[in-house]
Amino acid sequence: MRTALVTGITGQDGFYLAKLLLDKGYHVIGTFREKIHTLNLSMDPLQDKVEFIYFDMFDQRNIASILDEYRPAEIYNLAACSSGAGMFVDPVGLAEVNGLAVTRILEAIREVDCKIRFCQASSSEVFGAAVESPQTESTFSNPRSPYGAAKSYADSMVRIYRQHYQLFACSAILFNHESPRRGLGFVTRKITHEAARIKLGLSKKLHLGNLDARRDWGFAGDYVHAMWLMLQQQNAEDFVLATGELHTVREVCELAFSRLGLNYRDHVFEDPLAFRPGDELTLIGSAKNAYAKLNWKPQINFQQLVQMMVDSDLFELKKLNLESMSNE
């Protein structure tokens, strides 16, 4: 039984990765940063199958001692401070968690066991104000936010430890990826959740930023599968993971509301004050390298993704409503 250590396991990607690894027979170790730990509700179905441990990403000795004790075959670093609207919040914290902590993990691997395989969850935000489109593994890094800059630094350190110390270390450059377990702070989930609330009469209006902002959106479950494939290769290599398709926020609204028999124009209002910096810049990835070398392609398309999220939100809200009625 192989052991995999997953940081950031209580997030969206952590759930899908943990499920994948458990299905493949791994012993999965999930880390948390706080000593008093509350599981994300998304982990509930898996929490009895995962071993949870305290892992201090700011403490080099703690990281090395964890690796020495558990000797994982694979490490997936999903832990990160917020993307989305949080990309400009707390630049120092972003640099520590999204950047320097990655170097600490790499150094701990070098110190304890150079055979441990490491996958870093990077981001399309490393391309920022992209110099070419679509973006590939060779596109120049040009971040426009503290979040993107920290991720870019981490990618650089992954390459250095791979080339100079011969570690099996790679970065998965993830474009936007969503699921029913996406946080409510992200626009896709905000739309699907609020659409379901409006359908149930719990809300009437949804205020959003730029409806014409375009993104390359895929399904989180597909992307973590690619990360697993990356660690099964003979040689470590960075990969862009993307759909290569652009869709607008408006399209998400159209699909979500129509799924519920509603017209988004009756409920969605564009708020200029909610526009995000950089919304006019478009990031779209080319995953041709992943297609060719990993034999990987997204299995869930854009329409299926939005419908999946709407259906899940509607189901969960109905369940909560029934539970509250039964408790009255």
List active site positions: 123, 125, 147
Within 10 Å of residue 33's Cβ, how many Cβ atoms? 16
Within 10 Å of residue 114's Cβ, how many Cβ atoms? 12
Question: Partners of 207 in the beta sheet?
Answer: 269
What is the three-state SS of 95-141? HHHHHHHHHHHHHHHHHHCCCCEEEEEEEHHHCCCCCCCCECCCCCC
∠ CA 13-16-19, nearest 5°, is: 145
Helix, strand or coil, per DSSP, at residue 7 = strand
Helix, strand or coil, per DSSP, at residue 116 = coil
Asked if residue 116 lies in contact with residue 109, where contact means CB atoms within 8 angstroms, the answer is yes
